[in-house]
Amino acid sequence: MSDTEPQKQAADLVFEYELDAPPEKVWRAISVPGFRDKWLPKEDLADADPVSTEPGEEIRYAMRDGDPPFLESIVTFEVRPGTDGGSILRVVHGLTDARLVPRTLPAANNNGPLMMLAA
């Protein structure tokens, strides 16, 4: 037995990008299907419609891996004004697949009350 605790994997992957384009243009690129399909293929989306949206600020899509085990996740795109007329795009990728949620199992020794069986 070890005294060290296992390291937990971060729940979400977060990426932040500074872009030269104004926030309105970045918003169109991530929210209008015709533009979005050029950089985010429909095959990677679990559903073409967003899960939720706050117009001009944030949009969430359900994604699905193309390779087994086909894990599902929610990707959030946040847009805010940057410096010099540009914008900041923050991408938060969070796995939501139920197969990755740790299950609590009962203790192997059950630690329950001792019951005698009648013969």
In this predicted model, which residue has the larger pLDDT, 81 or 43? 81
119: in domain: no
114: in domain: no
CB atoms within 10 A of CB 47: 11
- Quick one: tokens of 55? 């117009």
Q: Which residue range forms the structural domain that includes residue 72? A: 12-97
Question: What's the pLDDT score for residue 72?
Answer: 85
93: in domain: yes
**CATH number (domain holding residue 31):** 3.30.530.20
Question: What's the pLDDT score for residue 86?
Answer: 94
Q: How many domains does the structure of the chain reveal?
A: 1
Q: Per-residue pLDDT tens for 24-60?
A: 999 999 999 999 999 888 888 988 899 999 999 999 9
Of 36-45, 67-76, 106-115, minimum mean pLDDT range = 106-115
Rounded CA gap, 99 and 69, in Å? 10
Residue 25 CB partners (closer than 8 Å, separation 6+): 87
Query: Is the bond preceding 69 in cis, omega lying within 30 degrees of 0?
Result: yes
* pLDDT over 60 at 104, yes or no: yes
104: in domain: no
79: in domain: yes
In this predicted model, which residue has the larger pLDDT, 1 or 29? 29
109: in domain: no
113: in domain: no
* pLDDT over 90 at 107, yes or no: no
116: in domain: no
Rounded CA gap, 87 and 108, in Å? 54
Residue 55 CB partners (closer than 8 Å, separation 6+): 27, 31
| Residue 103 pLDDT level (bands cut at 50, 70, 90) | low
| Angle, alpha carbons 31-84-15 (nearest 5°) | 50
